[in-house]
Amino acid sequence: MNDLQHQRTSCEEAVNHFLLRISENKHLNAFLEVFDQEALERARSLDQLRATGAALGKLHGVVVGLKDVISYKNHGLTASSKMLKGYVSVYNATVVDRLLAEGAIIIGRQNCDEFAMGSSNEHSAYGPVLNDADNTRVPGGSSGGSAVAVQAGLCMVSLGSDTGGSVRQPADFCGVIGLKPSYGRVSRYGLIAYASTFDQIGIFSITVADTARVLEVIAGPDDMDSTVSRQPVEAYSSLLPKTADHKKYKLAYFKQALEHPSLDPEIRKAIADLIDRLEAAGHTVTPIEFELLDYVVPAYYVLTTAEASTNLSRYDGVKFGHQTALKVDDLTDFYKKNRSEGFGKEVKKRIMLGTFVLSAFYFDAYFAKAQQIRRLLSEKSKDIFNSYDALISPNAPCSAFKLGEKQGDATEMYLADIYTVFANLVGIPGISLPLFHTKDGIPFGIQLMSDQLKELSLLALSDQLMQSEGKH
């Protein structure tokens, strides 16, 4: 971004560079569609604007990719599903309007797990995305295409969505920064819903400063989304250098999280060593009890699948969605054929699970109990942030695994979310920072979480940590 801001390059040169990178890396399958001519035309118009001496937007010339669940008017929008094949969005998401208003260039839409359901990006109707660090490994999910696009230098930043870790976990697997803002910090208007009380649009980037600048643009109140916070948006990009320098933080980590048997020993040691360095630098790092760790994944999947069952009921092939070519005898059969053919296996599994937990006989046993767990977690979160500035955690139990490695074990795949779903259940912000590599050279990171709407503090801590670890 700095080269554009200081006029060391032109917008057109930047777009041509990224179009070449995308062409050279088609095998990664990160993009479903590239808006090449449109991006070049917008770049030229931005260059002409700059030549007039006019005031430039905060994201002037910044080349952005969009996960294929974010609406961009007159462009394809499929949620990487056959169900929406050929669908063209009729309006802009609020985040898209705000990006464009500040001079960003949208270069394409990015592959993801179908309807944002998955932890590996192997559940796209258009094929898996490959990790640029090792093409035999998954990039994480569901925003795998968005993470790989930044990892491989196919765009400057990407917008994804995070329902239970779908920005932070692929950021971890791909060695980039991934921010999930607080629930309600960024408008969800124009985001295809998976689970409406969990979903949040997030940011992939290379630097904390870039993340701060994009968040400053896309965050804030929106009349089209009643769940958005009315709290004013802080000037993250300008305040960050003033708050990131020498503050000593009170940090905590869940004792049970680092002792959990699912956590790879290499990740455990890297985080333990980081904690030692933080303490040596003058920060306070305290282990705290978290007896509910083994309940977070079950509670998350009960609640999100219930919401998905409701949200995805609209895709029936009548107003929009896939329509079967087979002859059908009645309306019920028509619905069944449309949905059976249009949805992939993972989406159908989650819809059926959600329908089950919402049924009259099982509602109290599953859905109501999961809501109780969510309330307990929210209370726990408030207690923690009354005493501490941030939580430290792994992002995932392991680094990027091999393609197909976990396809036969749904439980193991779902447990990949054990460290990230807490932030979505309680609505707090979380960020993945790319600090480490395995002995095989595969990247992984650390997760930081802070109190609701405390993104500035989270970004400042992140920037300090990246600098102290030599990542700037």
Calpha distance 185→183 (Å, rounded)? 6
Give the DSSP H/E element, type plus range, for residue 273. Answer: helix 265-280
**Alpha helices (H) along 281-368:** 293-311, 331-342, 345-358
269-286 pLDDT tens trace: 999 999 999 999 999 999
| Reduced 3-state DSSP string for 407-471 | CCCHHHHHHHHCCCHHHHHHCCCEEEEEEEECCCCCEEEEEEECCCCCHHHHHHHHHHHHHHCCC
pLDDT(319) > 90: no
Three-state secondary-structure class, residue 117: coil
Q: Which residue out of 166, 187, 205, 399 is catalytically annotated?
A: 166
What is the amino acid identity at position 18? F
Residues whose CB falls within 8 Å of the CB of residue 346, separated by 6 or more in sequence, listed in order: 113, 114, 117, 118, 123
Kind of pairing between the strands at 31-34 and 105-110:
antiparallel
pLDDT(245) > 70: no
| Cβ count within 10 A of residue 284 | 13
The closest of 444, 348, 427 to 131, measured between CA atoms, is 444
Residues whose CB falls within 8 Å of the CB of residue 43, separated by 6 or more in sequence, listed in order: 10, 11, 12, 14, 15, 61, 105
Q: Which residue out of 10, 58, 67, 158 is catalytically annotated?
A: 67
Calpha distance 453→457 (Å, rounded)? 9
- Of the pLDDT bands very low, low, confident and very high (cuts 50, 70, 90), residue 412 is confident
What is the amino acid identity at position 319? K
Structural domain 2-242, CATH architecture: Alpha-Beta Complex (3.90)
Q: What is the dihedral of CA 384, 385, 388, 391, to 10 degrees?
A: 70
Mark whether 10 is an active-site residue: no
Phi/psi of residue 335, each to 5°?
A: -60, -45
Which residue, chain included where needed, has tokens 């979480």?
449
Average pLDDT, the chain: 95
- Of the pLDDT bands very low, low, confident and very high (cuts 50, 70, 90), residue 241 is confident
Calpha distance 112→339 (Å, rounded)? 20
| Cβ count within 10 A of residue 235 | 11
Mark whether 457 is an active-site residue: no
pLDDT(301) > 80: yes
pLDDT score, position 242: 72
Q: Over pLDDT 90: what percentage of the chain?
A: 91
Against a cut of 0.85, is the pTM above it? yes
Count of alpha carbons within 13 angstroms of residue 277, beta-carbon side: 14
Mean pLDDT of 200-205: 98
Three-state secondary-structure class, residue 134: strand
The answer to which of 135-144, 313-322, 384-393 has the lowest mean pLDDT is 313-322
pLDDT score, position 472: 65
Mark whether 71 is an active-site residue: no
Handedness of CA 28, 171, 429, 426 (dihedral sign): positive
Q: Which residue out of 80, 142, 309, 399 is catalytically annotated?
A: 142
Give the DSSP H/E element, type plus range, for residue 115. Answer: none
pLDDT score, position 258: 94
- Domain locations in the chain as residue ranges: 2-242
